[in-house]
Amino acid sequence: MTEKKIALVSGANKGIGFETSRQLAKLGIKVLMGARDEKKGAAAVGRLQKEGLDVELVQLDVTRSDDISRVCTMIERNFGRLDILVNNAGMAHNEEPLFVNSTETISMQALRETFDVNFFGLVELTQGLLPLIKKSPAGRIVNISSILGSLTLHSDPQAGLDQTKPFAYDASKTAVNQFTIHLAALLKDTSIKVNSAHPGWVRTDLGGEEAPMDTMEGAKTSVALATLDHDGPTGGFFHLDETLPW
């Protein structure tokens, strides 16, 4: 078994997941890059391997239970534990533009598809990997959420989110935050730390070209939470050094 820290990043073939994988690997961590599309994942892994980084492709669709089971088995067989899990895979449905309140119009199919990726897949993957994370001397779980999951800010007329209410996406991220709180409470007497991360508004396929942050900046919060010291926080919601309201 390797002494090097082992990380799994889901949705790692592009955007924030790709940059998170790069930054973790630059810290000397072996990164398993989860990608739904094997061809795109292989291309992403190849780019980082050319930079001399220790990364490996893991074909992973978080909505497929057989994928999750296979990945858990592979990690246990090859490494015996998992030190870092970054739940980055996510989607925004094309039925709901970012700057629209879709509460009245979102279809049940779109709502279910969004939750399947952003919430149910995240929970199932985490549950499957938790026995391996418990074998780490200092396990770290980072759930990529969004400030749009904050009920406190959505209910505050002064918070500036009045025109930003894609319901399925926002609700799925609120659910992710609740999972973070519950899982952190479950693990409070262990060395495992569980936190939610708001990357910021980042120029990705999801964030769009108008976003002010690049992926290098957007990955900083998840990388910081993935590499917390033993006295770091757990059960929190963060953007860079700022604690966000639930």
Residue 112: count of CB within 10 angstroms of its CB: 12
Phi/psi region, residue 94 (left: phi>0; alpha: psi -120 to 50; beta: rest), is alpha
Tell me which residues of the chain have a pLDDT lower than 70: 1-2, 201-215
- List, by residue number, the catalytic residues: 169
State the angle between helix axes of 167-186 and 108-115 in degrees (0 to 180), rounded to the nearest 10. Answer: 30
Q: Please, are residues 215 and 203 in contact by the beta-carbon 8 Å criterion?
A: yes
Q: Could you tell me the pTM of the whole model?
A: 0.95
Buried b (16+ CB within 10 A) or exposed e, 211-238: bebebebbbbbbbbbbbeeeeeebbbbb
pLDDT of residue 34: 98
pLDDT of residue 112: 98
Q: For residues 216 and 234, what is the distance between their CA atoms, to the nearest angstrom?
A: 24
Q: For residues 28 and 31, what is the distance between their CA atoms, to the nearest angstrom?
A: 9
pLDDT of residue 163: 81
pLDDT of residue 160: 85
In the chain, the domains with their CATH numbers are 6-243 (3.40.50.720)
Length of the chain: 246
Q: Please, are residues 7 and 29 in contact by the beta-carbon 8 Å criterion?
A: yes
